[in-house]
Amino acid sequence: MSTDMDAIAKLYDYRKSIDNFDAALIHILAERFRVTKAVGVLKASADLPPSDPNREAEQVARLRELAKTADLDPDFAEKFLEFVIREVIQHHKQAAAK
């Protein structure tokens, strides 16, 4: 049987892992946005549109499949990607406006 102290220690370990994952996610997102900002600058300099619906559809399909293999809800993965894409498009629009 687990004691309250064991449960508290385990909870601490879980929370420490969650904090580490959150930090990794933030750093990975920052790197991703650095690259997508470069894409936005390139698109702006080449007079390309900030949005690419075909690429976005490919990404959604790819991430939904990745989510399935990772045992993550594909709908959640799609919503997350849509959120990221909206932010990326804003960055691309800002680059085009400069």
Which residue ranges make up each domain of the chain? 31-97
- Tokens 């949005």 map to which residue? 51
Q: Is the pTM of this model over 0.85?
A: no
Pick the CATH number of 31-97 from 3.90.79.10, 3.30.465.10, 3.40.50.170, 1.20.59.10: 1.20.59.10
Distance CA 22, CA 17 (A): 9
Q: What is the pLDDT of residues 50-93, one digit of tens each?
A: 889 999 999 999 999 999 999 999 999 999 999 999 988 888 88
Q: Which residues contact 40 (CB under 8 A, 6 or more apart)?
A: 50, 88, 91, 92, 93, 94, 95, 96
Question: For position 38, what pLDDT does the model report?
Answer: 93
Residues of the chain with pLDDT > 90, as a percent, come to 76
